[in-house]
Amino acid sequence: MRINVTRSSMPDFEEYMEALRPLWESRWLTNMGANHEELAKQLCKYLKVENVSLFVNGHMGLEMTLQAMGLKGEVITTPFTFASTTHAIVRNGLKPVFCDIESDHYTMDASKIEDLITPDTCAIVPVHVYGSVCDVESIDRIAKDHGLKVIYDAAHAFGVRYKDRGIGSYGDASMFSFHATKVFHTIEGGCVATDDDALMDRLWMLKDFGIRDEETVDGIGANAKMNEFCAVMGLCNLRHIDEEIEKRRHVFERYRADLSGIKGLGVLQAQADVKQNYAYFPIVVEDDFGQDRQKIVDVLKENDIYVRKYFYPLTSDFDCYRGEYDSSRTPVARHIAERVLTLPMSADLNINDVDRICDIIRSCGGKG
């Protein structure tokens, strides 16, 4: 049976159908209906944040947050991320300035941020990667010292807590992705968490065409609202999220037990004071493993197992940015991007399949 790199968690079919019944009868299918409002309310509680603004997807949440803040100039960010992060910055007419990552958890290296700050710097957009969290304390301190906004890309960090604080409560705002492949999903969707009421108001305007009421349009907005069907999926999935994360923990820990201590194979380590969500299981295939990562990709594929070079290439090396950035300035990020693989990870991945995947990876090692 084919094993994909991700597999969406789903509620029972009957549970989702029953939850849809009132929606079906109401015919209120979008435009911030009852399910939309209830999901936002429940997410505030679960994520331990003050406010949540729901979006059609996480990317539009990030892009519109940057727009709502009225930023101009340079934004310090990381190239070791999904395309959305960099594109959201560029599409707002801002210039990304790439900071290198640290080698243990692949998040922005906070010790390198201040050297990148110029008079044109307006914000920092760090990324919580694979469920690992940035050095939020150092980043927030640097931002306060220099008067910069901090918008966290928390697409991978749903439900993660640091020192018992919801990770979305750090910085000026945090974007979460609810894409179908994420730990928590609404089929498609996302949200922005913030304690800034004025920002919430601007986000509401931007995601609904700038409409204030039936006769007042006082802003130039777009259409980025989450519909009611997606909100219902979110409400169903949220009932089971702790159980899903616990299942993922068992898969994650089995991988770590099977693969730790293998020469030339880097395995993601736990962070102090962090409650994880076990979103992904990355490995880094170093030269002394004996084979490059493509060998692992090929052999696993021969066994109908599909992994992903995530993130590769660096966003600074994308064809659409060719000639604009120099990835040699972020050597750690480039090193990791050229060697990283994310292994299949889902709540219902069979432990025997985890063992089989790890056996295959081990068999690729050495000179043979």
Contact 196, 173 (CB under 8 A): yes
Q: Is residue 367 pLDDT above 80, yes or no?
A: no
Q: In the predicted model, what is the mean pLDDT of residues 72-86?
A: 98
Q: pLDDT tens for residues 236-267?
A: 999 999 999 999 999 999 999 999 999 999 99
Q: What percent of the chain has pLDDT over 70?
A: 99
Encode pLDDT of 317-333 as tens digits: 999 999 999 999 999 99
Give pLDDT tens digits for 136-177: 999 999 999 999 999 999 999 999 999 999 999 999 999 999
- Mapped onto helix, strand or coil, the DSSP state of residue 212 is strand
Q: How far apart are CA 319 and CA 206, in angstroms?
A: 30
Domains of the chain: 13-239 (3.40.640.10), 241-364 (3.90.1150.10)
Share of the chain above pLDDT 90, in %: 98
Confidence of residue 368 (pLDDT cuts 50, 70, 90): very low
Closest CA to 127 of 95, 161, 93, 171: 171
Q: What is the average pLDDT across 196-202?
A: 97
Per residue in 287-321, pLDDT tens? 999 999 999 999 999 999 999 999 999 999 999 99
What pLDDT does 77 receive? 98
In the predicted model, what is the mean pLDDT of the chain?
97
Check pLDDT > 60 for residue 128.
yes
Task: Give tens-digit pLDDT for 339-365.
Answer: 999 999 999 999 999 999 999 999 998
pLDDT of residue 365: 87
Phi/psi of residue 318, each to 5°? -60, 145
pLDDT digits (tens, 9 = 90+) for 40-67: 999 999 999 999 999 999 999 999 999 9
d(CA 340, CA 286): 9
Neighbour-count burial of 328, counting CB atoms closer than 10 A to its CB (0-12 exposed, 13-18 middle, 19+ buried) = exposed
Distance separating alpha carbons of residues 210 and 202, to the nearest angstrom: 9
| Three-state SS at 258 | helix
CA nearest to 268, candidates 337, 338, 340, 335:
340
Task: Count CA atoms closer than 13 A to 186's CA, side-chain side.
Answer: 28
Do the beta carbons of residue 187 and residue 233 sit within 8 Å? yes
pLDDT exceeds 60 at position 210: yes
How much is the pLDDT for 269?
87
Burial of 233 (0-12, 13-18, 19+ CB in 10 A): buried
The position carrying tokens 């100039």 is: 73
Cβ 254 vs Cβ 272: under 8 Å = no
Residue 323 has a pLDDT of 93
Helix/strand/coil for 283: strand
For 8-24, the pLDDT digits (tens) are 999 999 999 999 999 99
